[in-house]
Structure 1
Amino acid sequence: MKLVTRTGVVLTAAALSLSLAACSASNEPAASGSSDTATTGTDAGATTAALSGTLNGAGSSAQESAMDTWRAAFQSENPDLVINYDPVGSGGGRTQFFDGAVSWAGSDSALSEADGEYDAAAARCGTDGAINLPVYISPIAVVFNLPGVTSLNLDSATIAKIFDGKITKWNDDAIASQNDGVTLPDTAITIVHRADDSGTTKNFTDYLAQTSDGAWGYDASGVWPTDKGESGQGTSGLMEIVTGTEGAIGYADDSKAGDMGKVAIKVGEEYNAPSSEGAATTLSDSTVASVNGDNDLAYTINRTTTQSGAYPLMLLSYAIVCQSYDDATEAANVTGFLSYVASEAGQQAAASASGSAPLPTDLSAQVEDILAQIAG
């Protein structure tokens, strides 16, 4: 059931109460001679099938906070539907999706044509394959544990040299020269990266590869490219190591950064701290690079933008879905839930829970329209 009208107006608390009643009514058996759909009270002329059963998804741990909020809100209005989500990481989520273990995958990187993932999706979904639908925009924070220091300015080349093990002490001149007035200790730097195949890692390494003027000598990859540093499983595992290790540095979705120190990255002549507004500005300067038709909304992020306020170390996280499902109930559950996720109400709920940037209104509507075309 959609929680917004087609004009995108967020329901007030009173209207939401009415929509709950309408949803309960829609879940009652259809009258004799009618279809098994019912008109909701939130969208004139719209119909939605009664949703029930179990819907399983897996993937992005960056989406976890938002996903918990989305699941709770949607299940409260669809009590006969149980939604499960395993934040196993983007790579693990895509694998489970290809294997048919889950109905959709949450992924901080789009399907890769070069890695054969569109072919794997076609084997799972059928001829029409799968598409990437944006649902979550968020900055990636470079986090560190340095007592007494809460913020540092760093350019991309310096970040790259730190994570490649070429800068090993916190009082190195490359760091100190960008942070006048900050007392930096002679503490060894402990690099912390993800142990799993991670969309956050792919976005982070893509940023370094594109912006460090050659200081990062590796391609963008969801798998950490060196054996340097320590590794943690998932976002929570990485943050546990950073939090417990003085001198550690890592990277994580900003919603999971907690009280750790954060890096302001150099963009043009500015140093910009991670922010949802900066991530949204970067997306506005990026382009759609669809592979599987016009409904495939995979983006190429412009990491080299110099727009004022932009924060190009960001992720655009997707729901990866089949363009058609063999089972009508599965299709209804996937599209019903993800339509709420992409809606203005769902996006505002995620922003409140995780600090993410809501999808632009036109993109939100586009994702909802595409989901409406998915059949079972």
Structure 2
Amino acid sequence: MNLKRSGALLGVVAVGAMTLAACGSDNNSSSTGVDASASNATCEGKSNLSAAGSSAQKNAMDQFVATYISVCQEKGKTVNVAYNPSGSGDGRTQFIAGQIDFAGSDSAIKDEQADKAKERCVGGEAWNLPLVFGPIAVAYNLDGVDKLVLNAEVLAKIFNGGITKWNDPAIAALNSGASLPDEKITTVIRSDSSGTTDNFQKYLDAASNGAWTSGAGSDFTGGVGEGAKGSAGVAQAVATAPGSITYVEKSFADQNKLSVAEINTGSEAVALTNDSAAKSIAGAKFKSDATGDLTLDLASIFKTNEAGAYPLVLATYSIVCSKGYDADTTAAVKSFLTSAANEGQANLAEQGYVPLPANVQDRLNASITAIS
């Protein structure tokens, strides 16, 4: 997914450029290709919203904001959403402190932070609303091996140092007939704190049948690997290092023309495509069946055995107050999220994200409507 760790200034420039493009529109079809008359966004409430957090969702948020600005312009309203991709942890901290209207986060707000958020959301609580999804590729550089199948158990052993050669019997068993070299495996990991690292490790923890024992977190816990900063850094490192492997958002693997492994889920090997990632998202379960907080049961994605479903997917949330905003902020937050969850999803695939499947979109719209 195109999760470039750009600074806030680049985000402002990108949104500003798209805003200027919107100013030239003179019909019901916005500059982003969206029919404003079909949008359910009311464009009511305060004109300027503020948000911060996940850099993973920055490019999606830029698109959401540009679309929202354009839709509201067609309805005669001037709006803006200033999103600072300062990192998930910072976004949650600012949200709790009441410094921003909503946060972006690669992990759900929970435990002590959720309790503190109740003080900020006077009379309400913090809801985690999954707005942006994107697949994580297992990208590799191995001469003569154009197709490679791995599974969670083998990946866990590669990234914790238990498997060190490409022709290891465990890899060979998943790749019958392939000519695997007697070559050292070089693992490349994120040197910076990252939601991608956290979700990759959560996947290994959930799906590797106990082969991964070091837990998860935004910092890599496996103990082996050469570090590189950012998604671009790990992708470029693998591109120049034969015998290497990494985990990285799909668009960075595509940009660097890296080979991407298929993942064996127990019943079949599944290639990474937008459709295969969407299948796993559509089958995701939530921690609760109630309308409101939509924290995902990530194991339902990571351990999927549905035919054709790719299991390694990053989910990022918008964290909002269920109630407790003033009336103008409530209206604006609901209006923006309504646009982002619907017309804002158009063309996300071009940026390496996976648009919301219909069943997830329906749950999300119901929760947005319930904000009061």
TM-score norm. by structure 1 comes to: 0.77
Of the three residues 359, 364, 367, the one matched with 2:364 is 367
Mapped contact 2:127–2:320 kept (Cα < 8 A): yes
Mapped contact 2:55–2:88 kept (Cα < 8 A): yes
| Distance of aligned partners of 1:164 and 1:81 in 2 relative to their CA distance in 1, 3 Å threshold | same
Which residue of structure 1 lines up, in the alignment, with residue 38 of structure 2?
42
Aligned-residue CA RMSD in angstroms?
Answer: 3.0
| 2:270 counterpart letter in structure 1 | N
User: Unaligned stretches of 5+ in structure 2?
Assistant: 1-24
Partners of 2:90 and 2:244 in 1: how far apart? 26
Which residue of structure 2 lines up, in the alignment, with residue 68 of structure 1?
62
Which residue of structure 2 lines up, in the alignment, with residue 312 of structure 1?
311
Is the aligned partner of 1:321 residue 2:320?
yes
Partners of 2:240 and 2:117 in 1: how far apart? 39
Partners of 1:331 and 1:167 in 2: how far apart? 52
Q: Which moved more, 1:175-184 or 1:203-212?
A: 175-184
| Distance of aligned partners of 1:229 and 1:365 in 2 relative to their CA distance in 1, 3 Å threshold | same
Partners of 1:92 and 1:240 in 2: how far apart? 27
Mapped contact 1:91–1:199 kept (Cα < 8 A): no
Which residue of structure 2 lines up, in the alignment, with residue 214 of structure 1?
210
Which residue of structure 2 lines up, in the alignment, with residue 335 of structure 1?
334
Is the aligned partner of 1:205 residue 2:215?
no
Of the three residues 225, 242, 259, the one matched with 1:229 is 225
Mapped contact 1:193–1:230 kept (Cα < 8 A): yes
| Distance of aligned partners of 1:48 and 1:71 in 2 relative to their CA distance in 1, 3 Å threshold | closer
Q: Which moved more, 1:153-162 or 1:178-187?
A: 178-187
Partners of 1:159 and 1:47 in 2: how far apart? 47
Mapped contact 1:70–1:350 kept (Cα < 8 A): no
Q: CA deviation at 1:208?
A: 1.2
List per-residue Cα deviations over 1:351-373 (Å, max 9, x = no partner). Answer: 343241x3232432332332234
| 1:71 counterpart letter in structure 2 | V
1:149-298 to structure 2, matched below 5 A, reads: 149-258=145-254, 259-290=257-288, 294-298=291-295
Is the aligned partner of 1:18 residue 2:9?
no
Q: CA deviation at 1:132?
A: 0.9
Q: Percent identity?
A: 38
User: Unaligned stretches of 5+ in structure 1?
Assistant: 1-14, 22-39
3-state SS, counterpart of residue 18 of structure 1? coil
Which residue of structure 2 lines up, in the alignment, with residue 57 of structure 1?
52
List per-residue Cα deviations over 1:14-43 (Å, max 9, x = no partner). Answer: x9932659xxxxxxxxxxxxxxxxxx8436
Partners of 1:333 and 1:228 in 2: how far apart? 46
Q: CA deviation at 1:50?
A: 6.4
Partners of 2:231 and 2:100 in 1: how far apart? 21
Mapped contact 2:92–2:104 kept (Cα < 8 A): yes
| Distance of aligned partners of 1:275 and 1:332 in 2 relative to their CA distance in 1, 3 Å threshold | same
Which residue of structure 2 lines up, in the alignment, with residue 135 of structure 1?
131
| Distance of aligned partners of 1:69 and 1:164 in 2 relative to their CA distance in 1, 3 Å threshold | same
| Distance of aligned partners of 1:94 and 1:260 in 2 relative to their CA distance in 1, 3 Å threshold | farther
3-state SS, counterpart of residue 135 of structure 2? strand
TM-score norm. by structure 2 comes to: 0.78
| 2:323 counterpart letter in structure 1 | S
| 1:64 counterpart letter in structure 2 | K
Of the three residues 95, 102, 105, the one matched with 1:107 is 105
Mapped contact 2:148–2:261 kept (Cα < 8 A): yes
3-state SS, counterpart of residue 221 of structure 2? coil
Mapped contact 1:137–1:276 kept (Cα < 8 A): no
